[in-house]
Structure 1
Amino acid sequence: MRRQDVQVAVVTGASAGVGRATVRLLARRGIAIALLARGRVGLDAAAEEVRAAGSRALPIEVDMADHDQVVAAGRRIEAELGPIDLWINNAFSSVFAPFQQTRPEEFRRAMEVTYLGYVHGTRVALSHMSPRDRGTIVQVGSALAYRGIPLQATYCGAKHAIVGFTEALRCELLHERSKVQLTMVHLPALNTPQFDWLLSRLPRHAEPVPPIYQPEVAARAIVGAADRPGRREYWVGASTVLTILGNRIAPGLLDRYLARTGYKSQQTDRPADHDRPNNLWHPLDGPGGHDYGAHGGFSARSHSRSPQAWLSRHRLVTAAGLAGATVGTLAWLRR
Structure 2
Amino acid sequence: MSIKLKKLNEQVMVITGATSGIGLATARMAADGGAHLVLAARDGDALDTLALELRQRGADVATVAADVGNPADVAHIGQVAMERFGRVDTWVNNAGISVYGKNEAVALEDMRKVMQTNFWGVVHGSLEAVKLMKGRGGGAIVNLGSEVSDRSVPLQGTYSASKHAIKAFTESLRMELHKEDAGISLTVVKPSAIATPFPNHAKSYMEHEPDLPAPNYAPELVAQAIVHAAQVPERDLYVGSHAKLTSMAGYLMPRAVDRFMTRTMFGRQQSDQPNSSVRRDALHTPDAAYELRQRNDSDHRVVERSPYTAFEMRSVPAKTMLLGGALLAAWALTRRPWERRVWHA
Report the TM-score when normalising by structure 2.
0.89
Aligned to 1:152: 156
What's the secondary structure of 1:99's corresponding residue?
coil
Match of 1:269 in 2: 272
Choose from 36, 55, 59 the match for 1:55. 59
Map of 1:295 onto structure 2: 295
Amino acid of the structure 1 residue aligned with 2:70: D
Distance between the aligned counterparts of 2:169 and 2:262, measured in 1? 28
Question: C-alpha offsets along residues 163-210 of structure 1, whole Å, 9 cap, x if unaligned?
Answer: 111111111111111111111111110111111121011111111111
Label 1:178 to 1:102 Cα distance change in 2 as closer, same or farther (>3 A): same
Moved more, 208-217 or 266-275: 266-275
Q: Does 1:111 align with 2:112?
A: no
* Structure 2 residue 306 is the aligned partner of structure 1 residue 306: yes
1:198 is aligned with what amino acid?
A: A
The AA in structure 2 aligned to 1:209 is P
Work out whether 1:236 is the aligned partner of 2:235: no
Deviation of 1:324 after TM superposition, in Å, equals 7.2
The separation in 1 between residues aligned to 2:201 and 2:325, in whole angstroms, is: 48
Cα distance 1:59–1:246, how it changes in 2: closer, same or farther (>3 A)? same
Aligned length: 329
Tell me the distance in 1 between the aligned counterparts of 2:177 and 2:323: 34
- For residues 26-56 of structure 1, give each alpha carbon's deviation from its aligned partner in whole angstroms, at most 9, with x where no partner exists: 0011111011110123312321232122111
* Alpha-carbon displacement from aligned partner over 1:228-269 (angstroms, at most 9, x marks no partner): 11x311112110111110011011111111111110011111
Query: Structure 1 segments of 4 or more deviating over 6 A?
Result: 322-327
- Which of these two proteins has the greater Rg computed from alpha carbons? 2
In 2, Cα distance between the equivalents of 1:44 and 1:126? 27
Structure 2: gaps (5+ residues): 333-340
**Contact (CA 8 Å) 1:188, 1:239: kept in 2 or not?**
yes
> What corresponds to 1:259 in structure 2?
262
Equivalent in the alignment of 2:335: none
1:22 is matched with: 26
In 2, are the aligned partners of 1:24 and 1:49 still within 8 Å (CA)? Answer: no
Q: CA deviation at 1:299?
A: 6.3
SS of equivalent residue, structure 1 residue 100: coil
Show the counterpart of 2:188: 184
Displacement of 1:96 in angstroms is 0.8
Contact 2:190–2:238, Cα closer than 8 Å, also in 1: yes
Pair 174,276 (structure 1): closer, same or farther in 2 beyond 3 Å: same
- 1:83 partnered with 2:87: yes
CA separation in 2, counterparts of 1:142 and 1:181? 19
Q: What is the RMSD of the two structures over their aligned residues, measured on CA atoms? A: 2.3
Q: Give the conservation status (yes or no) of the 8 Å contact 1:32–1:57.
A: yes
Query: In the alignment, which residue of structure 1 is the partner of 2:248?
Result: 245
Q: Identify the match of residue 175 of structure 1 among 174, 179, 193.
A: 179
Question: Structure 1 CA distance, aligned partners of 2:126 and 2:293?
Answer: 25
Partner of 1:202 in structure 2? 206
**2:336 paired residue number:** none
Indicate how the Cα distance of structure 1 residues 171 and 318 shifts in structure 2: closer, same or farther if over 3 A, else same: closer
Q: Look up the match of 2:337.
A: none
2:5–2:140 Cα contact (<8 Å) kept: no
The one-letter amino acid paired with 2:274 is P
Which amino acid is the alignment partner of residue 114 of structure 2?
Answer: A
Return the TM-score normalized by structure 1.
Answer: 0.92
- 2:24–2:292 Cα contact (<8 Å) kept: no
> Does structure 1 conserve the Cα–Cα contact (< 8 Å) formed by 2:197 and 2:290?
no
Structure 1: 5+ residue stretches without partners: none
- Quote the residue 1:123 is aligned against: 127
Of all paired residues, the percent bearing the same amino acid is: 33
CA distance in 1, matches of 2:117, 2:107: 16
**Contact map agreement 1:85 1:129 (CA 8 A) in 2:** yes
Say whether the 8 Å CA contact 2:213–2:269 is kept in structure 1: yes
